[in-house]
Chains A and B, each alone.
Chain A
């Protein structure tokens, strides 16, 4: 960087320095520096690092603006500063976790500043690393500084946003923003040129890079954009220098000088770029002064020129001695050059390598690159690549593409007379069709696979086909058939030593036993997880947790559900298994919704619904969560997600989709005061649920039917809390809901009571949850009954308690601290043990803890214990 003064950044520098002082003394931290391009994030961080280098080790790594960036690019940049163990660990994926740990050890050993530049371009593994570090830095001597362009995040989904969200609640992670320069600072920078400072400030919006480019461009006329300004500077260079800049711009932000000379650019030309200030030297490499300068030059290239430059770069890099350049970079140049053979030479290799590293998004992108050129390959190679591409599509949640690719592969195997491959691929197709909500076609594809493979007396593919039939039976909520097929598959797969199919069969049998209400399910999940871990079967590993989590959620066992869903998300995110991540997030959203954490539920539905290609089954569950959330909050647009969910659920025809959607719609209609609609929605899939004897689906639908005056008889197997509500045992129902950890449902049950005190408690609970409409109704209810002192908001005394406890709840907490049991408290307060149970649950949920012991500790910590 030219030694320009760093203006108006004292506050940020002070803050970074004080963070470093704290880090050096053992309280590490992460600072996320956000601001627009050219605002001076790098200049700020570099200046900070210059000072920091006197007292701490400084590591710098940058992310590349490539479609398929190098996995862990920034860490590779930093590795030389950390010694040999890290460099070797970065070689393979199984060691990735150890590489992360190693970095943390390095932070513990010595005060260290690690700078991650431009993380808005970070690859997924680097984002994982940031997430990992953010949560663990506080007990180290590391200060991680990550810069990002705020405007790149935008309103759309950006993977960095998820990381920022995940780290939002970590106290050692802070954000820093780099603001535009003031008019005075702009005037100071432009002192040398004849320009009106006000005009310049307006034009550049206080962007320092833009200002310095305008100043450097000189001239009579103010350039109107950054590229204009850069263009003016480039225009003053000799042609040879301009050629070198153009060649460098297709390579990236930095380039090896030897590559430019190998491309035929003279030392004189490179020198001219350095003198002209377009290049700076940085650790033996040539770097554009700023990414904006690189972009400005790159954007002026015509399409044919760009292709030619990429072709030249590819040819030179391929000729380079040793296997220096990675496949991803070569594939990038080949694709940009429009070089079909080059793409086929490098992209599939890069894809397979990425897949083996668990970087499935990169793998998918590389296969997609090769796709238009597959015709040039021999038939069998073509079909194999198509199938490999189809598999990656499925993993990264692009099911429509996966379906089309499997169909093409199937057609090609048919034409080639490859009967076994042809039939086997039907099992894969069935799985994708199920995700797309096309259950009928999934059934017939699965049946066809079995029919043909049985005829061929095939081995492994036939067992795989049996396994998927078992899975389909489970997914259609026919657990007994699933257990029969699954058990048979377990025998066959065990005999054949087919770990993958065996693990899948255990998951199916486990889920089926769970849904059938049999307690013996857990060992099957554990067996599947052990197999998956032993054989590196990431998809199955995530699936075991996912099935257990969503199954427990369907049975309203939310502790178990949440534990396994979070495990599923962790595994799926680590391995880019987007399809599983999205489905787990949708179920986690439902879980958090029931638990009363509506902010997190909202964030999770958002994360689950980001891709338009997200599989149908994921969309249904996420839309159902979103619709219910809006209904309960009284927020606008509750029906559109519920309408879309219904449309998709009808397409599947499956109980596990239709029941939650119909129930959510009945609830929405109830809040609309439309009883006819409550009746029709709840009746619509009641029979289907009753046939499957599903206690929770039947329970909720029966509840809505009873509210709409449309329930003849309550089925005996209906889940208890709903049954109690239907029977008019409101406070018992509330206690049952509280035991399940469902505060909204508990309040709803209480609000139906005839006892004014119960309705007041319900009102308080609704207000706390942010359930506006339900709170309004409870208030109106109280008013109708002529209750005195109708509250406007949470009761004043409630508001005054630091943890929002009612006076009664505060008493209960005090009794808990005294070590009293529920029965003791009930006796002391002259109420029923059920009521105490409910009050204790309310106390736990308000304190954000899940046990009495934790509540006592929390009460001590927050000084909530009344000395009287």
Chain B
């Protein structure tokens, strides 16, 4: 399945508390997006908590957008990516 990076912008900052509620919120996202065949790999959050760079596996950009809509997560830009690993040697 192809991999994508989604850039998201949160004008009011992203707040996911490190509590059971926060964990549930994340699991709910995982659950909802699974119905679109989308799998959340990992996310990077900027220090000001206003931008995130999220890595997803999914069938296509349309599925990622539908998943974003279902979970109320904004999308600035979707980029298809592949892995470049600094530790890869021949």
Q: Spell out A's residues near B (CB within 8 Å).
A: 150, 153-156, 161, 164, 177, 599, 602-603, 605-606, 626, 629-630, 633-637, 772
Contacts and interface: CB of A to CB of B under 8 A. Distances in A.
A33 to B, nearest CB: 14
Contacts of A154: 37
B61 A636 contact: yes
Contacts of B35: 150, 153, 161, 164
Contact of A599 (B61, B69, B79): B69
Contacts of A606: 62-63
12 contacts: A150-B35, A154-B37, A155-B36, A155-B59, A161-B35, A599-B65, A630-B61, A635-B78, A636-B61, A636-B79, A636-B80, A637-B60
A154 B78 CA distance: 23
Nearest to A151: B34
A599 B35 CA distance: 16
Interface in B1-51: 1, 4, 31, 34-37
A363 B79 CA distance: 44
A634 B66 CA distance: 16
A150 B35 CA distance: 7
B77 interface: yes
Top-7 shortest CB links A-B: A155-B37, A636-B80, A635-B61, A602-B62, A635-B78, A155-B59, A636-B61
Contacts of B1: 155
B62 A634 contact: no
Contact of A637 (B34, B36, B61, B76): B61
Nearest to B4: A636
Contacts of B78: 635-636
A629 B65 CA distance: 12
A605 B80 contact: no
A179 to B, nearest CB: 9
Q: Looking at A161, A636, A637, A772, which has the most chain B CB atoms within 10 Å of its CB?
A: A636
Interface string B52-90: 000000011111011001000000111110000000000
Contacts of A161: 35
A530 to B, nearest CB: 39
Given A633-B65, A635-B65, A637-B60, 18 more contacts: A154-B37, A155-B36, A155-B37, A156-B37, A177-B31, A599-B65, A599-B69, A602-B62, A602-B66, A603-B66, A606-B62, A606-B63, A634-B77, A635-B61, A635-B62, A636-B79, A772-B76, A772-B77
Contacts of B62: 602-603, 605-606, 626, 629, 635
B53 to A, nearest CB: 15
A856 to B, nearest CB: 29
A317 B59 CA distance: 45
Contacts of A603: 62, 66
Contacts of A599: 65-66, 69
A606 B36 CA distance: 11
A462 B62 CA distance: 47
B61 A633 contact: yes
A636 B79 CA distance: 6
Contacts of A605: 62
A602 B37 CA distance: 15
A635 B69 CA distance: 16
A637 B66 contact: no
A131 B15 CA distance: 38
Nearest to A606: B62
B67 to A, nearest CB: 11
A820 to B, nearest CB: 36
Contacts of B79: 636
Contact of B34 (A150, A602, A630): A150
B65 A602 contact: yes
Contacts of A156: 37
A451 B1 CA distance: 52
Nearest to B2: A637
Q: Looking at A153, A155, A605, A634, which has the most chain B CB atoms within 10 Å of its CB?
A: A155
A587 B52 CA distance: 36
A153 B77 CA distance: 28
A625 B8 CA distance: 26
A633 B34 CA distance: 23
A603 B66 CA distance: 8
A853 B2 CA distance: 47
A207 to B, nearest CB: 15
B35 to A, nearest CB: 6
A603 B1 CA distance: 19
A304 B34 CA distance: 38
B82 to A, nearest CB: 12
Nearest to A602: B62
Nearest to A599: B69
Contacts of B69: 599
Contacts of A164: 35
Contacts of B4: 636
A603 B80 CA distance: 20
B72 to A, nearest CB: 14
Nearest to B24: A179
Contacts of B77: 634, 772
A635 B62 CA distance: 9
Nearest to A629: B62
Nearest to A640: B60
A181 to B, nearest CB: 15
Contacts of B63: 606
Contacts of A637: 60-61, 80
A599 B69 CA distance: 9
Contacts of A633: 61, 65
A606 B61 CA distance: 11
B36 to A, nearest CB: 8
Contacts of B34: 150
Contacts of A177: 31
Contacts of B61: 630, 633, 635-637
A772 B65 CA distance: 14
Contacts of B37: 154-156
A605 B63 CA distance: 11
Contacts of B60: 637
A577 B61 CA distance: 29
Nearest to B65: A602
Contacts of A634: 77
A685 B66 CA distance: 35
Contacts of B59: 155
A150 B65 CA distance: 20
Nearest to B57: A155
A104 B76 CA distance: 44
B3 to A, nearest CB: 11
A637 B67 CA distance: 18
Nearest to A637: B80
A181 B55 CA distance: 29
Nearest to A799: B11
Nearest to A776: B77
Contacts of A772: 76-77
A384 to B, nearest CB: 42
A634 B65 CA distance: 12
Nearest to B36: A155
Nearest to B64: A635
B77 to A, nearest CB: 6
A161 B66 CA distance: 13
Nearest to B5: A636
Nearest to A605: B62
Contacts of A635: 61-62, 65, 78
B24 to A, nearest CB: 9
Q: Looking at B60, B69, B76, B78, which has the most chain A CB atoms within 10 Å of its CB?
A: B60
Nearest to A156: B37
A599 B65 CA distance: 8
B29 to A, nearest CB: 13
A602 B80 CA distance: 18
A732 to B, nearest CB: 33
A594 B1 CA distance: 30
